[in-house]
């Protein structure tokens, strides 16, 4: 079952006008929220980011005052199971095709649930491959926009080279992955690109930083050069569906020893322990500044 504009219905019965601005212009935003055993993980942080994205594109929140939480909980009940990925999307809605905002229109709200696959155990031994590509996206990557063509093309380039992700570089600096944030480790220090318009403020990124700092791990948010990336002892990808994923080959060359590193193993263990605590009760407070 999916949710569309107030109704819970089978996906084949859900329909959206071709005049919807999300279809015509990519005029909308989205979120992806993991759910474990029926409990959405870091939901408050995801909804806070959704509100920031809506505000950034000047689209009033169509479901304030707890509406999102109630709708998503009902949707999960309509799609029972263990681990799930919840996708929600808001567009400016149906209107005559004109770039400027329509005077009056109702937002289109859509949500669906998909199975969330567990990390392949083989990853702990072999890691995954990634490629590096120029970052050709627009200038406001901090908005979780549905306009993802540049990301799609980068991920397709990765797929054609048997890689799971494309790591993006702009003006000699690491930004992030096409669908992930990126961490690098050198001499035991964990680094990730500082927040700003060039990267998405990842919810998993923030959670990993909180978990590591709680364990007194040296973590730094700062510029990372392409040379830093290529000289890293470890590279990780983080996202709501990837958790913390070790990259052991970049552009066909080994990262560090070519095996998942010790800092990643400790980070994944702490992340999963904290995730279990967070889904069972009050957990770490997530900061984005």
User: Are 90 and 182 found together in one domain?
Assistant: no
128 with 232, same domain? yes
- Packing angle of the helix pair 203-214, 43-56 (nearest 10 deg): 130
- Quote the mean pLDDT of the chain: 95
- The helix/strand/coil state of 260 is coil
> For residue range 145-159, what is the model confidence (pLDDT) as tens digits?
999 999 999 999 999
Mean local confidence (pLDDT), 237-241: 95
How far is 190 from 64, CA to CA, in rounded Å? 37
Residue 111 has pLDDT above 50, yes or no: yes
pLDDT at residue 289, as a whole number = 43
Distance between CA atoms of residues 180 and 166, nearest Å: 9
Residues 6+ apart with CB under 8 A from 44: none
Instruction: Dump pLDDT digits (tens) for 63-92.
Output: 988 899 999 999 999 998 889 999 999 999
Q: Which of 51, 80, 115 is the last residue of a domain?
A: 115
Buried b (16+ CB within 10 A) or exposed e, 94-127: bbeeeeeeeeebebbbbbbbeebeeeeeebeeeb
Q: Give the residue numbers marked as catalytic.
A: 144
Q: How far apart are CA 43 and CA 203, in angstroms?
A: 10
Taking only the tens place, the pLDDT of each residue in 157-214 is 999 999 999 999 999 999 999 999 999 999 999 999 999 999 999 999 999 999 999 9
Which CATH number goes with the domain that contains 270? 3.20.10.10
Judgement on whether residues 240 and 155 belong to the same structural domain of the protein: yes
Looking up residue 101, the CATH number of its domain turns out to be 3.30.470.10
- Torsion sign, CA atoms 268, 273, 278, 284: negative
Number of domains in the chain: 2
Domain containing 77: what range?
A: 2-115
pLDDT at position 112 over 90 = yes
């Amino acid at each position: 079952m999916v949710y569309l504009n107030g109704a819970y219905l089978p996906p084949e019965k859900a329909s959206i006008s071709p005049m919807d601005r999300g279809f015509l212009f990519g005029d909308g935003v989205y979120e992806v929220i993991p759910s474990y055993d029926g409990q959405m993980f870091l939901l408050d942080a995801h909804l806070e980011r959704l509100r920031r994205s809506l505000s950034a594109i000047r689209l009033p929140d169509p479901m304030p005052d707890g509406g999102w939480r109630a709708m998503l909980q009902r949707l999960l009940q309509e799609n029972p199971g263990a681990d799930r990925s919840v996708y929600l999307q808001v567009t400016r809605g149906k209107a005559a095709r004109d770039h400027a905002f329509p005077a009056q229109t109702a937002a289109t709200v859509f949500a669906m649930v998909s199975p969330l696959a567990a990390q392949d155990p083989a990853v702990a031994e072999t890691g995954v491959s990634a490629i590096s590509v120029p970052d050709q996206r627009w200038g406001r990557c901090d908005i979780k926009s549905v306009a993802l063509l540049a990301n799609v093309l980068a991920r397709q380039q990765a797929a054609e080279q048997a890689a799971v992700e494309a790591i993006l570089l702009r003006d000699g600096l690491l930004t992030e992955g096409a669908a992930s944030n990126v961490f690098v480790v050198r001499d035991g220090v964990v680094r990730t690109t500082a927040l700003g318009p060039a990267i998405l403020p990842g919810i998993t990124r923030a959670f990993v930083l909180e978990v590591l700092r709680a364990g007194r791990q040296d973590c730094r948010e700062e510029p990372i050069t392409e040379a830093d990336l290529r000289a890293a002892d470890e590279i990780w990808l983080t996202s709501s569906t990837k958790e913390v994923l070790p990259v052991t080959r970049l552009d066909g060359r080994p990262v560090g020893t070519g095996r998942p590193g010790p800092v990643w193993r400790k980070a994944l263990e702490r992340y999963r322990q904290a995730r279990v605590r967070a889904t069972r009760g009050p957990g770490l407070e997530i900061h984005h500044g």
